[in-house]
């Protein structure tokens, strides 16, 4: 099963990997033509009427029309409005040029022009997987007329009027004899399963395995105009000690740049004063003592309860009192199943502990061995299995940082290949932690937040690397986060990536 949102992400990722959506549309349309030809043995005497909508599904229908006309069918195309989908426009222009082989291309300007027809084949290319809610004109009338017409009825991808993500029927919809859907079955097709044929259209497996710009586009929502402070989440960073102030600051600034509304940094008193001086955008919580200890738990708990997401670990150090505090803080987070990112020193402190589903851990290879007791394998496929196994055992999302990032939630995994050698400097892991926390605060799942965080952090680093080479620092990544989130496809296409899987 695949949702419409996930399908859209795969199509965009395919484009980014060099398989254009125009080619996917061509493959989709041709696969529908092949299925029709196989079932009906079409020849020149067969009449085909295509009801074409104004989006990508309409474009698929135009491809079907072109191929069936080339096979000798008598093809009529009814356009239910002006199509602005760029790939569909290309195919529409081709259709207009086929004024000898295609019998009719008619733009419907009034629903009164829609009347039941008699044909050998009727193609439903009206409303696709982006549809939800109530059917509006001219599609309401077109669906009714389509159902009243006589002929073998074929729906492309999903019957018009059906929500691709909801198996419950929503109002009037096309009643097809055959559904040719693409890549995988959609949840809304469960009731039609006996009529469904699934066809692959050339989406590479890599579009699913690797995090891509499509994942950012479909998951990171634009803010509504009536948004108020706090709607996009409060992040609490617990970290720093008498020596280290940079790590929690970088996490906090990364979280802010990624879109969290409020970011609090809880650190020992003198460290907190230093952190306050970095940016007026940060809210500094001053804890008693030189290092975070169990004495600070009563101070921290109200802030933990108030936060939407908690980060624990950056720059905390490994003093005995801090290790004890890390363990107690994580236990408190676990008891509440609080969305959390457990990183760096805190992760080392809780080595071997079973965590909880709302937790994300972000170890590099050394930390992974400390936490899990397993040395990451140099073979990528074996390494993936190790991360999946670790996720199963620790009951949380695991992001193993490296030349290639591996993100796993039990058996499900994603790979991230953004990044560059210049990012092998202090602080880049801290920015990653903040980015992940920010996505979680914006109500994305821990797994989604983790793989998006890896992608955004690496791609922001790639922009900096392009300008600075191996002289970038972590704050350069923070500056480029907005560009990656605002223009992920454009930025991704400009970068050169490595081949990552061992054969």
249 has binding-site annotation: no
Residues 6 or more apart whose CB falls under 8 angstroms from that of 81 comprise 53, 54, 107, 108, 138
The answer on whether 134 is annotated among ligand-binding residues is yes
The DSSP output letter for 377 is: P
Beta strands in 334-389 (DSSP E): 340-342, 359-361
Strands annotated E in 115-229: 118-125, 150-156, 178-182, 196-199
230 is in an annotated binding site: no
> Is 212 marked as binding a ligand?
no
Q: Is 343 annotated as a binding residue?
A: no
492 known member of a binding site? no
155 labeled part of a ligand binding site: no
**Residues contacting residue 94 through CB under 8 Å, at least 6 positions apart:** 62, 66
* Residue 109 counted as an annotated binding residue: no
Contact (CB, 8 A) for 142 and 126: yes
Tokens encoding 477: 């990544």
Q: Is 131 annotated as a binding residue?
A: yes
- The answer to whether the annotation marks 246 as part of a ligand binding site is no
Q: Give me the sheet containing 340-342, strands edge to edge.
A: 283-287, 262-268, 234-238, 309-312, 340-342, 359-361, 397-400, 405-409, 412-416
Distance of CA 26 to the CA centre of its chain: 24
Helix (H, G, I), strand (E, B) or coil at 309: strand
Q: How far apart are CA 237 and CA 123, in angstroms?
A: 56
What single DSSP character describes residue 352?
T
295 marked as part of a ligand binding site: no
Residue 449 annotated in ligand binding = no
Q: Is 247 annotated as a binding residue?
A: yes
Q: Which pairs count as long-range contacts for 363-366, CB under 8 Å and 24+ apart, including other chains?
A: 363/398, 363/399, 363/400, 363/401, 364/400, 364/401, 364/402, 364/429, 365/400, 365/401, 365/402
Q: At what angle do helices 21-40 and 4-16 cross, to 10 degrees?
A: 120
HEC profile of 435-491:
HHHHHHHCCCCHHHHHHHHHHHHHHHHHHHHHHHHHHCCHHHHHHHHHHHHHCHHHH
Edge-to-edge, what's the strand order for the sheet holding 74-79?
Answer: 102-107, 74-79, 47-52, 118-125, 150-156, 178-182, 196-199
184 is in an annotated binding site: no
Cβ neighbours for 372, distance < 8 A, ≥ 6 positions apart: 352, 386, 390, 393, 394
Q: Tell me whether residue 214 is annotated as binding.
A: no
> Whose CA is closest to 10, among 183, 197, 189?
183
Name the residue with tokens 């061509």.
26
User: SS3 of 287, please?
Assistant: strand
Can you say which residues are annotated as belonging to the binding site for AMP?
A: 429
Can you say which residues are annotated as belonging to the binding site for K(+)?
A: 124, 160
Can you say which residues are annotated as belonging to the binding site?
A: 124, 128-134, 157, 160, 247, 315, 364, 429-430
Can you say which residues are annotated as belonging to the binding site for (6S)-NADPHX?
A: 128-134, 157, 247, 315, 364, 430
């Amino acid at each position: 099963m695949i949702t419409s949102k996930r399908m859209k992400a795969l199509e965009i990722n395919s484009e980014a990997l060099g398989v254009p959506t125009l080619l996917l549309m061509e493959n989709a349309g041709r696969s529908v033509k092949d299925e029709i030809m196989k079932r009906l043995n079409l020849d020149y005497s067969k009449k085909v009427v295509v009801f074409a909508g104004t989006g990508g599904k309409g474009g698929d229908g135009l491809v079907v029309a072109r191929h069936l006309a080339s096979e000798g069918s008598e093809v009529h195309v009814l356009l239910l409005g002006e199509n602005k989908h760029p790939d569909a426009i290309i195919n529409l222009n081709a259709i207009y040029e086929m004024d000898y082989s295609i019998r009719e291309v008619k733009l419907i300007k009034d629903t009164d022009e829609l009347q039941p027809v008699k044909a050998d084949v009727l193609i439903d290319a009206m409303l696709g997987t982006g549809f939800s809610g109530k059917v509006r004109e001219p599609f309401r009338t077109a669906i009714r007329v389509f159902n009243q017409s006589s002929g073998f009825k074929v729906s492309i991808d999903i019957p018009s009027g059906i929500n691709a993500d909801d198996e419950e029927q929503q109002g009037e919809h096309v009643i097809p004899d055959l559904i040719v859907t693409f890549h995988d079955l959609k949840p809304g097709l469960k009731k039609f399963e006996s009529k469904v044929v699934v066809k692959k259209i050339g989406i590479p497996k890599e579009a699913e395995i690797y995090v891509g710009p499509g994942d950012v586009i479909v998951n990171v929502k634009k803010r509504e105009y009536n948004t108020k402070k706090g709607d996009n989440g409060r992040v609490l960073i617990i970290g720093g000690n008498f020596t280290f102030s940079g790590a929690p600051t970088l996490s906090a600034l990364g979280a802010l740049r990624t879109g969290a509304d409020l970011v609090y940094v809880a650190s020992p008193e003198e460290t907190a004063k230093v952190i306050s001086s970095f940016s007026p955008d940060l809210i500094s919580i001053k804890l008693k003592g030189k290092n975070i200890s169990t004495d600070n738990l009563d101070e921290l708990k109200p802030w933990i309860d108030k936060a939407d997401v908690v980060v624990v670990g950056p720059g905390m150090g490994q003093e005995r009192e801090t290790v004890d505090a890390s363990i107690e803080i994580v236990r408190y987070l676990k008891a509440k199943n609080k969305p959390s990112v457990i990183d760096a020193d805190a992760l080392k402190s809780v080595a071997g502990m079973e965590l909880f589903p709302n937790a994300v851990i972000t170890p590099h290879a050394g930390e992974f061995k400390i936490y899990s007791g397993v040395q990451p394998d140099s073979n990528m496929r074996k390494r993936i299995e190790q991360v999946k196994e670790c996720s199963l055992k620790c009951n949380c999302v695991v992001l193993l940082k490296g030349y290639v990032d591996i993100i796993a939630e039990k058996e499900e995994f994603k790979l991230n290949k953004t990044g560059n050698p210049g990012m092998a400097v202090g602080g880049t892991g801290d920015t990653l932690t903040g980015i992940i926390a920010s996505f979680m605060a914006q109500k994305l799942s821990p797994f989604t937040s983790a793989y998006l965080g890896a992608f955004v952090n690496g791609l922001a680093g790639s922009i900096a690397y392009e300008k600075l080479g191996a002289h970038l620092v972590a704050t350069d990544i923070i500056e480029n986060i907005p560009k990656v989130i605002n223009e992920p496809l454009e930025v991704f296409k400009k970068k050169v990536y490595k081949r990552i899987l061992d054969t």
